[in-house]
Structure 1
Amino acid sequence: MNLDFLQQKLNDRIEKGNIRSLKTDGGLLDFVSNDYLSLARNAQLSQRIHNRCLEEPVPNGGTGSRLLSGNHRWYEEAEELLQSVFRAESVLLFNSGYAANQALVSSVADKGDTILYDQLSHVCLKEGAWLSRAETVAFRHNDLDDLEQRMQRVTGRCFVLTETIFSMDGDVAPLHELVQLCEKHGAYLIVDEAHSTGCYGEQGAGMLMEEGVAESIFARVYTFGKGMGVHGACVAGSRTLIDYLVNFGRPFIYTTSLPPHSVIAITESFRYLAEYQQLQGQLLKKIELFRTHWPKAMSHTAIQPVMIGSNEQARVISSQLQESGYDVRPILSPTVKSGTERLRISLHVHNSDEEIKTLAEMLKQLMS
């Protein structure tokens, strides 16, 4: 079998310096993971999850889609809890944030509708839009004027896609203004809370809840593999929306359900955070500490981009930091736009103050 056509594309990546490969952490200090609240490594939470799975007759796998054999009682328990946390009329669990966004966006918009998405939205939101039969148009990142101009030219129903915290720049969407604009034009606003779930809001309910705009959002997507330290995701919205997704969301209908162990982990993670919400304050202190010692900081969130501007230089500085014991990875084009290559530093509760200060000092030396 001739695989030259695949190898050629790989060779092109190698020549451009942006070939991807899998790596383990190698025991380095973690400044790369999305485990912002350190719940993925929390031994007490792990023991709670383990104890429940020992005490209850938990199957090893989901056994089928939720519409067949996979709708175990632990799903109902988790969705009831999440409905309360997010103060939503209804909630539907998904296997991942990627699946949730893809199912939601691809199914709610139809031929004759228009989807307007922030150009820096995660690829799963964009792919959901492309899989729908609607017209899809990007608007400039967080640019309300550009968005409104495009809203004035849409046909059919208008859906607007954005995120609370963007994964590469760590910046925040203008949530109140977006809500007002969508209400003005009768648009349906869909917001992905992937990087704010757990880190903001009472019981980890996210930034939309903290900002008091959640009830104005057509659909909210929350993921649990980042701040919550476990796995899975959910869509929160009206009962009508959730019933619709059960019937028309293909990634939900045709996927084997999460195993009960994962669903129990979601429940126990939110229960744990409700008891230890001070973790959010601890994370905010780590962020401010980094900003104090790295004057070029661009973000007020746990995601701190350090702009480099070339694939080669980003790789070099990343390697130097790793040689010093700090796991900081480069983000290269085409993942980000050429010329905006960077280091993406993630801050966590488990990073010590001394580690954060030392990292900032090393950055000053390496980029001087």
Structure 2
Amino acid sequence: MPGMNKHLDDKLGSVLARRKSNGKLRRLNNTPANCVDFSSNGYLSLSTNSAVQKSLIERLQLEVAVHEKGKKILHDPHRSILGSGGSRLLDGNSPFAESLETKIAAFHGAEAALLFTSAYDANTGLLSCVPQVGDVIVYDELIHASVHDGMRMSRASRRIPFAHSSILEPNLGKHDMRHQSKNLGLHDILRQLSKDKLTGNGETNVFICVEGLYSMDGDVAALNEVADAVDRYLPSKNGYIIVDEAHSVGICGEKGRGLVCQLALEDRVWARVLGFGKAMGCAGGVVLCSSITRSYLINYARTLIYTTSMTFTSLASIDVVYDYLISGQSEPRRQHLDTLIHYTHRQLHALCARLQPGQHHTLHVRKTPSKSPVIPVFTTHPRALSEHCQLSGYMVRPIVAPTVPAGSERVRICLHAANTAEQIDGLCSAIEVWVQNQTAVTTKPQQVGNERGRESAEAVVDVSTRRDKPRL
């Protein structure tokens, strides 16, 4: 009845009002069609790639023809193309799904694979059911929210965060981090755990959770050092590394096999979680693990058991993307993306060196070149900068607390294989105009600053003469 929920709505509204007053209110927004994409996670631009789209359409057309003729290829011809029919344990399984898992496992050098509807469900399902009473989960303080949700549902006795900077390569150390952690480093925590009797003799399991590529900072974990630390402090082989490769699959390693494969750590990492919604350009997730672990997840992972399985269209999308990677067709796109990464960092670093915006706490980029397509531009005014860039035709997003720790707010630039050097120049020019506006406001009276800001905003910046453009 109208008005019956007013009391609850009033309470919820007050919570939202408080969040809005703190500048943290989230809203759903549509991306303008005329904006250059520097925001989405589709790093290889595969979702808009004509070859991938053509392969998927042909696969769907073939499936329709098979259904019409009643023939069998990989699965039941009576199965719906649009819907899966239920959970994997009931009516949602198929030979096609199982053959796809076999293909994925072989490509990534894993014993087995288990598909989930998303990487979020994969992380949550894995962490919620595997750690038992007495076990310990040690996790990067900047680990994804899905791991946190899985840990909350797990029966592990302890959950211990460690400092993110402790698993980064030396040239990305604390001096270049925006967030100074109060947590101990991974080595310190593992050293303390090794002194515990049950942990030291191998009776207690320790799960170490990290990401391959971090989507907010764009840094890459030093997985070799993580594996060495686990071997050193947990010699009883009761340390199990879990790597979330949602953002590194498709980007790192030969043909995009991921960071674990790039570093040849397949036998030292217990489980990997891959997401298909980023560089892979489709949707879904998978856990790479042992056959026994796969069977265990089928029996105990609630995010698999109690949800409708992926449809044929989703499975086919994943299949054609893997065919694209396996064939090597993605390699030129990865090489082009790598060129853009270095070019963007040079342009941003040159901009900061020229304008010195850090003097007014306006803007900062890391001195060390990024190894990933995610480049954070740290600023005390992320919303204002992102709005200015969007109005200039470049879609970037503000990233603020609680998504990132307070004091490390930034605008995140996500590069894609479909981007060009000219687009990067345009984005850098928009950022430069904004910095000039901010500098004018902080160094001159308000009225003069506003006039300068309007003049700068209206200026057309010629970027055609910029140097060091990559040959694309």
State the shift of 1:188 in Å: 0.6
CA distance in 2, matches of 1:202, 1:361: 34
CA distance in 1, matches of 2:165, 2:208: 12
Comparing 228-237 with 334-343, greater Cα deviation is found at 334-343
Q: Which residue of 1 aligns with 2:129?
A: 107
Q: Which residue of 2 aligns with 1:289?
A: 343
State the shift of 1:19 in Å: 0.7
1:175 to 223, 232, 257: 223
Q: Which amino acid aligns with 1:161?
A: C
Q: Which residue of 2 aligns with 1:302?
A: 373
Q: Which amino acid aligns with 1:75?
A: A
Contact 1:192/1:221 (CA < 8 Å) preserved in 2? yes
Q: What is the root-mean-square deviation in Å for CA atoms of aligned residues?
A: 1.4
1:353 to 418, 421, 427: 421
1:43 to 15, 33, 50: 50
Comparing 221-230 with 270-279, greater Cα deviation is found at 270-279
> For 1:1-368, what aligned pairs fall within 5 Å after superposition?
1=5, 2=7, 3-27=9-33, 28-56=35-63, 57=67, 59-134=81-156, 135-143=158-166, 146-154=185-193, 155=199, 156-184=204-232, 185=234, 186=237, 187-275=239-327, 276=329, 277-295=331-349, 296-297=365-366, 299-309=370-380, 313-368=381-436
Q: Which amino acid aligns with 1:8?
A: S
1:22-78 CA-to-partner distances (Å, cap 9, x unmatched) read 111111110000000000111221121121112113521111011111012220221
Contact 1:72/1:260 (CA < 8 Å) preserved in 2? no
Specify the SS of the correspondent of 1:23: coil
State the shift of 1:215 in Å: 1.9
State the shift of 1:239 in Å: 0.9
Which gives a bigger RCO, structure 1 or 2 (Cα 8 Å, sep 6+)? 1
Contact 2:392/2:430 (CA < 8 Å) preserved in 1? no
1:173-205 CA-to-partner distances (Å, cap 9, x unmatched) read 111010111122131100000111111222321
CA distance in 2, matches of 1:307, 1:22: 23
Rg comparison, structure with higher value: 2
CA distance in 1, matches of 2:115, 2:372: 26
Specify the SS of the correspondent of 1:88: coil
CA distance in 1, matches of 2:30, 2:333: 26
CA distance in 1, matches of 2:267, 2:334: 23
1:233-269 CA-to-partner distances (Å, cap 9, x unmatched) read 1111111111111111111111110101101110100
State the shift of 1:213 in Å: 1.2
CA distance in 1, matches of 2:11, 2:95: 48
Contact 1:168/1:305 (CA < 8 Å) preserved in 2? yes
Comparing 358-367 with 242-251, greater Cα deviation is found at 358-367
State the shift of 1:360 in Å: 2.0
CA distance in 1, matches of 2:379, 2:141: 21
CA distance in 2, matches of 1:49, 1:215: 33
Specify the SS of the correspondent of 1:359: helix
State the shift of 1:84 in Å: 1.2
Give the count of matched residue pairs: 365
Runs of 4+ displaced beyond 4 Å: none
Specify the SS of the correspondent of 1:257: coil
1:89-110 CA-to-partner distances (Å, cap 9, x unmatched) read 1011110000000111111101
Q: Which amino acid aligns with 1:159?
A: F
Contact 1:198/1:228 (CA < 8 Å) preserved in 2? yes
Q: TM-score, normalised by structure 2?
A: 0.75
Contact 2:43/2:416 (CA < 8 Å) preserved in 1? yes
CA distance in 2, matches of 1:183, 1:249: 28
Q: Which amino acid aligns with 1:194?
A: A
Comparing 29-38 with 234-243, greater Cα deviation is found at 234-243
CA distance in 1, matches of 2:212, 2:36: 27
Any stretches of 5+ residues in structure 2 without a counterpart?
68-79, 168-183, 194-198, 350-364, 437-472
The sequence identity of aligned pairs, in percent, is 36
Contact 1:130/1:136 (CA < 8 Å) preserved in 2? no
Any stretches of 5+ residues in structure 1 without a counterpart?
none
Specify the SS of the correspondent of 1:152: helix
Q: TM-score, normalised by structure 1?
A: 0.96
